[in-house]
Amino acid sequence: MEELRLVIERKCPYCRRQVYSERETKAILYGSPIRSCQCGKDYLDIRYHEIALTGIEPESLNIRQNIIILIFIIPIMLVTVMAFVQNLPKLTAFLFLELLMIIAAVWDMIQKKNGGNFRQLRAESEARLSNPDYVHRLQAAGYCIPDRMK
Ligand SMILES: [Zn+2]
């Protein structure tokens, strides 16, 4: 089986087409690390984590970003509330939006604290790994496969 080549400088190792931007270099993604280029070749992108093999990256459960959002939004929300009670009903939509952002940030934080909601991604990962051809390709690419999956 042909060994998969790794992305070099964000470019497809076969046709040198750019496959992701510089901004996305440090992204932690979940899915198959075997990606397909528009040129028809498959390459290896190790930004993608095969969750059933490698688990959840600690960075994905980091709540730093949620806290930053809350630190910014809560004071803005308080100002909006004060303006609102001084009879500025125009701000209703704005207030509603801020409230939604706070709820979303808190909800995401709770999810992360509970180990994240990765059920769907894990199921997809398990499904891919139930294919022996796929497992062989990963193994050829240097991935460690537990015996029960071989
Ligand atoms: Zn290519």
Q: At which residue do the structure tokens 């199921």 appear?
A: 123
Ligand 1 centroid to Cα of residue 4, in Å, is: 12
| Confidence (pLDDT) at 93 | 86
| Confidence (pLDDT) at 1 | 59
Ligand 1 centroid to Cα of residue 122, in Å, is: 28
What is the Cα–Cα distance from 36 to 45, expressed in whole angstroms?
10
Ligand 1 centroid to Cα of residue 55, in Å, is: 28
127: Cβ contacts below 8 Å, ≥ 6 apart = none
What is the Cα–Cα distance from 112 to 69, expressed in whole angstroms?
15
What's phi and psi for 65, nearest 5 deg?
Answer: -65, -40
Ligand 1 centroid to Cα of residue 119, in Å, is: 31
Q: Which residues of the chain have pLDDT under 50?
A: none
Ligand 1 centroid to Cα of residue 41, in Å, is: 6
80: Cβ contacts below 8 Å, ≥ 6 apart = 91, 94, 95, 98
| Confidence (pLDDT) at 45 | 96
Ligand 1 centroid to Cα of residue 143, in Å, is: 22
| Confidence (pLDDT) at 24 | 95
| Confidence (pLDDT) at 73 | 93
Ligand 1 centroid to Cα of residue 134, in Å, is: 20
What is the Cα–Cα distance from 129 to 52, expressed in whole angstroms?
8
Ligand 1 centroid to Cα of residue 50, in Å, is: 22
Query: Could you read off the pLDDT of 3-36 as tens digits, one per residue?
Result: 789 998 999 999 999 999 999 999 999 999 999 9
Ligand 1 centroid to Cα of residue 19, in Å, is: 8
To the nearest 10°, report the CA torsion of 92, 98, 99, 103.
160
Q: Is this model's pTM higher than 0.95 or not?
A: no
* Beta strands per DSSP E along 91-133: none
Ligand 1 centroid to Cα of residue 13, in Å, is: 7
What is the Cα–Cα distance from 125 to 135, expressed in whole angstroms?
11
